[in-house]
Amino acid sequence: MHIQTRTLQKEDYHDLKEVMIEVYSGIGGDYWPKSSITKLLNIFPEGQFCVEVDGKVVAIALAIRVNYAKFGDNHTYYEITGGYTFKTHSDDGDYMYGIEVFVHPDYRDLRLGRRLYDARKELCEQLNLKGILAGGRIPNYNKYADELSPREYIAKVKQKEIYDPTLTFQLSNDFHVRKVLRGYLPGDSESKEYATLLEWINIYYVAEKDKKPHTDSIIRLGVIQWQMRLFKNLNAFLEQVEFFANAVSDYRADFMVLPEFFNTPLMADFNDLPEPVAIRKLADFTEAVREKLCEFAISYNVNIVGGSMPLVDTDGKLYNVAYLCRRDGSFEEYRKIHITPNEVKHYGMVGGYEIRAFDTDCGKIGMLICYDVEFPELGRILAQQGMQILFVPFLTDTQNGYSRVRHCAQARAIENECYVAISGCVGNLPRVQNMDINYAQSAVFTPSDFQFPTNAVKAEATTNTEMVLIADVDLSLLKELHEHGSVQVLKDRRTDLYDVTLKKAAKKAMKQKKASPDNDPEQVAPIIVVSD
* 72 Rama sector, left if φ>0, alpha if ψ -120 to 50, beta otherwise: left
Burial class (CB in 10 A: 0-12, 13-18, 19+), 137: buried
Residues 6+ apart with CB under 8 A from 72: none
Sorted by sequence, the CB contacts under 8 Å of residue 209 that are 6+ apart come out as: none
Q: How is residue 15 annotated by DSSP? A: H
DSSP string of 336-354? Answer: -SS--HHHHHHH-------
Query: Is 336 annotated as catalytic?
Result: yes
Question: One-letter amino acid identity for 339?
Answer: I
312 and 277 in contact (C-beta within 8 Å)?
no
The residues, any chain, with a CB within 8 Å of residue 229's CB and separated by 6 or more, are: 265, 427, 429
- Quote the CA–CA distance of 226 and 244 in Å, as a whole number: 10
Question: Catalytic residue at 193?
Answer: no
Q: Rounded to whole angstroms, how far apart are CA atoms 525 and 522?
A: 5
The beta-strand segments (E) located in 46-130 are: 49-53, 56-66, 95-103
- DSSP letter (8 states) at residue 496: T
* Rounded distance between C-alpha atoms, residue 84 and residue 86, angstroms: 6
Q: Which residues of 92-111 are buried (b: 16+ CB within 10 A; e: fewer)?
A: ebbbbbbbbbbbbeebeebb
Catalytic residue among 370, 408, 418, 425: 370
The catalytic residue among 52, 260, 275, 417 is 260
Q: Identify the three-state secondary structure at position 179.
A: strand
Rounded Cα distance between 163 and 153, Å, is 10
Q: Is 332 designated active site?
A: no
- Answer for the pair 199, 178: CB distance below 8 angstroms, yes or no: yes
CA distance 388 to 382: 9
Residue in 336, 364, 458, 513 annotated catalytic: 336
Largest CA distance in the chain: 90
d(CA 520, CA 524): 8
- Residue 207 main-chain phi, psi, to 5 deg: -60, 155
Catalytic residue ranges: 260, 336, 370
